[in-house]
Structures are given as C-alpha cells and as structure tokens.
Copies of this chain bind each other. A is one copy, B any other.
Amino acid sequence: MRVFIAGVDGYLGWPLAMYLTKRGHTVAGADNYMRRDWVQEMSSQSASPISRMTDRLEAFRDNFDRNMRFFKGDLTNYNFVENAFRSFKPDAVVHLGEMPSAPYSMIDVEHTTWTQVNNIVGTLNILYAMRDICPESHLVKLGTMGEYGTPNIDIPEGFFEIEYRGRKDRLPFPRQAGSWYHQTKVHDSNNVMFACRIWGLRSTDIMQGVVFGTRIDEMGDDQRLLTRFDFDQCFGTAINRFCCQAVIGEPITPFGKGGQRRGFLPLRDSMQCLTIAVENPPAKGEYRVFNQFQEVYGITELAEMVHRVAASLGIDSEIRNVENPRKEMEEHYYNPDHRHLFDLGYEPTTDVESEIAVMLNDLRNWHDRIEARREVLMPDVRWDGRREKVTYIDPAEKRGKIRAV
C-alpha cells in the first residue's frame, strides 16, 4: 500500500516509516520540523542524538534500499496538503502531525489558541484533501485515550449502546478531556466522524495510550535511524521521564498521590498496532475507534517498576512524589476496553518490565545529553495558570513508604 505519514519527523512517525517499509509498503512523509522547535522552546533536546532529515533520508536509503519521498511543509496550509496528496496518491494517510503535549497547550493563551488551531486545521485540511483527491483512501488518525478522561464506568471503544428512559441508541461515548491539547483530539474525533458521515470517507481513530521506549528492531545499529526521545515536562511522557531521572540520579517523580491509572504500550507495539489499522481498512463511510494500549498501570506502580529494573542494572534510584501540576483525579476507576486490535491480530511482543530494561541501557549511553538538561525534568506549567516549579510532597514520609515497598 501507499502510505502517507503526516508528522514523519516525530517520535512515532519516523520509526513507523521504517516499520511499514520493512513490511513492503511504499511510504512518503511530511513534516515541518516543529517538534524540534517546541522541544528547543522548552530548553530541552532529544536524549537520543537524532539526525537531521537529510541524513535520516540517506540512512533510510542505505538500510532499506529505497528512497522515501519527503514533503517539507505545514499541514495548516491547504495547498501543501493538496499538492502532496496529488503527487503521492496515498491509499492510507497516517496522521501523526499534531502538537502532542498537554502542558505545552496549557502554558498561556497564545499556546492554547495556537495548539487548537494547528491541530484542528491540519486535520480539516487532510479531510478535505482526501475528499477531493483520494476519497477511497483510509485515514488512520492519532487520538488519545485522554479524550475519555476517567469516568466512573467502563470505557468502550468509541461508541456504546445505551438505554435511557426506556429507549435505546448507539452513541459516541462522552469525552471529558483533561487539557487544551486533549480537547483538540476530541474536536478532531468529532470532525473526522462527521467527514466520514457526510463524504463517505473511511477512518480509524486511534485512542492511543501512553507510548514509551527507545527503539524498534528496524533501526538496527545505524545511529542515523534513531528516533527522538524527549524527557522535558512537555514532550516527555511518564515512563520515559522516569527512566531518564533514574539514569542521571534524580528522584523518580510521580505527580500527586500517583494513583492515576492509564493505558500504556511500548513503541514497538505502537508500530504494530498502527500497521494493523493501515492493513485492515474499514468500509467506505465507516468511522471506527480503536483503544490502543497493552495494559493499564497506576503511575506509582510504574515508578516502582522503573526503580526495580534500574536496581537490577545496578542503578540506584529513589521515588519522591511531587505536587501535581495538573487538575486530574489521583485515585479513580479505570477500565477501558481494548479488544478491536487484539481481534485483528495484535500480539504484544514485549512486557513493560523488559522494555524498561532496554530503555535504561540505551539511556545510559545518552547520560550526558540528559544530564546537561536535567532542569527540564521538573514541571512548572500548572493547570491553574501559574508557572512555578512543583516541589516534593512530604519528602521524609514518602521516601520511607517507598523504601518499604
């Protein structure tokens, strides 16, 4: 299949290009290098020493014996999207080209409005270009499990059958997103669902859990093929940041009580899942939702797992809870379905503990790059609008508790 990856320079996009190519697909990608700019804005850098795109493309050719077409440009420019689609004629469009950070979207009014405009307009442009240029193609759109929030009932995959006052219907499951960024994914879901309804487009909307990990096998040993790995407060996700903290001897810092539960999956299985979606397109006009994660964990559990695996590798670490800069429930029910991908053949290739060991080994090689930006690990963007570094909670008591685990 001809697969167009929007956001091919990103954490997921770049490995996906290799993964799909290895499976025989013809891949093209677009990017505007914005992720590099955002991370720089956060005074941070990728822990992995990533190559610039020209070197990435050269390495791609060296390793996979074919060129990957690359379109440099901005998805909010309709002409750019239109020209790329006309030229490449995709069978599938994997849309990873959005601003993906909750804290970044919460910084101030400029960051909030920019985030919402950027994500919504990029997706609308893709929908219009599909309608007018490749109406039979399949949009694999990256959403997030965060769209659902943490309701006190089970979370189905996108839709649920309910009875209300004696009548029944199948309706979209209510969304209760927890940041301005997460709201953009909700807005996108509504827009994509509507486009499928009125224009007969087909789409898989991926409610993805938190992805972690440094590598996929397709990278081999060519350093030029490394994907980025962020650890700053905005672009580093929980496990990734915990591992970086362990490696440079900073405390591992769950937010608040640490009882927040989320779905997680390793980078390599994210590639597998996205590929399953690409290779099994829905019917014309169908809008379907996949909840994409391997297993649900509590944040404290993960912190403890990182602590334990680090110890087994001879890395001494400690866990210290910090104030929660977010407004979110810190103890709650959480039971989302995730059958659709398993039904299509998804088989987890690794468990969280083994993947953390792989990560810690990689990160040790990048110790100095993390150490040089250690101050970006502690968040200061707060949901109440203040910009002020969080502090440790009850340090003595918490440390005692953790040691006892």
Chain A residues at the B interface, C-beta cutoff of 8 Å: 78, 108-110, 112-113, 116-117, 120-121, 124-125, 128, 131-132, 151-154, 160, 162-165, 167-169, 171-178, 180, 183, 186-187, 190-191, 194, 197-199, 327, 333, 383-385
* Best-buried of A187, A197, A333 by chain B (most CB within 10 Å): A187
Alpha-carbon distance between A201 and B180 when the two chains are bound, in angstroms: 16
| A129 nearest in chain B by CB position | B109
Which one, B151, B171, B191, B197, contacts A151 given CB within 8 A?
B171
| A124 nearest in chain B by CB position | B113
Alpha-carbon distance between A179 and B125 when the two chains are bound, in angstroms: 16
Alpha-carbon distance between A199 and B167 when the two chains are bound, in angstroms: 37
Q: Are B128 and A153 in touch, CB under 8 angstroms? A: no
Which one, B117, B154, B180, contacts A165 given CB within 8 A?
B154
Q: Are A128 and B154 in touch, CB under 8 angstroms? A: no
Alpha-carbon distance between A172 and B164 when the two chains are bound, in angstroms: 14
Q: Which residues of B contact A385 (CB under 8 A)?
A: 131-132, 199
Q: Are B113 and A125 in touch, CB under 8 angstroms? A: yes
Which one, B131, B178, B384, contacts A199 given CB within 8 A?
B384
Q: Are A124 and B153 in touch, CB under 8 angstroms? A: no
With A124-B116, A164-B154 known as contacts, the answer to whether A174 contacts B177 (CB < 8 A) is no
User: A114 to nearest B CB, angstroms?
Assistant: 9
Which one, B124, B153, B171, contacts A176 given CB within 8 A?
B171
A-B complex: 5 closest residue pairs judged by Cβ atoms = A152-B169, A109-B128, A171-B174, A187-B187, A153-B167
Q: Which residues of B contact A131 (CB under 8 A)?
A: 385
User: A338 to nearest B CB, angstroms?
Assistant: 15
Q: Which residues of B contact A163 (CB under 8 A)?
A: 153
| A191 nearest in chain B by CB position | B183
With A172-B176, A183-B187 known as contacts, the answer to whether A116 contacts B120 (CB < 8 A) is yes
User: A65 to nearest B CB, angstroms?
Assistant: 38
Q: Are B176 and A174 in touch, CB under 8 angstroms? A: no
Q: Are A121 and B128 in touch, CB under 8 angstroms? A: no
With A112-B124, A121-B117, A162-B164 known as contacts, the answer to whether A151 contacts B180 (CB < 8 A) is no
Alpha-carbon distance between A175 and B173 when the two chains are bound, in angstroms: 9
Q: Are A162 and B153 in touch, CB under 8 angstroms? A: yes
Q: Which residues of B contact A160 (CB under 8 A)?
A: 164
| A197 nearest in chain B by CB position | B327
Alpha-carbon distance between A154 and B163 when the two chains are bound, in angstroms: 10
Alpha-carbon distance between A55 and B361 when the two chains are bound, in angstroms: 74
Q: A113-B120, A151-B169 are in contact. List 20 more A-B contacts (CB 8 A).
A: A109-B124, A112-B124, A113-B121, A124-B180, A131-B385, A132-B385, A152-B168, A153-B165, A153-B167, A153-B169, A154-B164, A160-B164, A162-B164, A167-B333, A175-B190, A177-B194, A183-B190, A187-B190, A197-B327, A198-B327
Q: Which residues of B contact A176 (CB under 8 A)?
A: 171-172
User: A28 to nearest B CB, angstroms?
Assistant: 21
Q: Which residues of B contact A128 (CB under 8 A)?
A: 108-109, 112
User: A127 to nearest B CB, angstroms?
Assistant: 9
Alpha-carbon distance between A284 and B124 when the two chains are bound, in angstroms: 35
User: A199 to nearest B CB, angstroms?
Assistant: 7
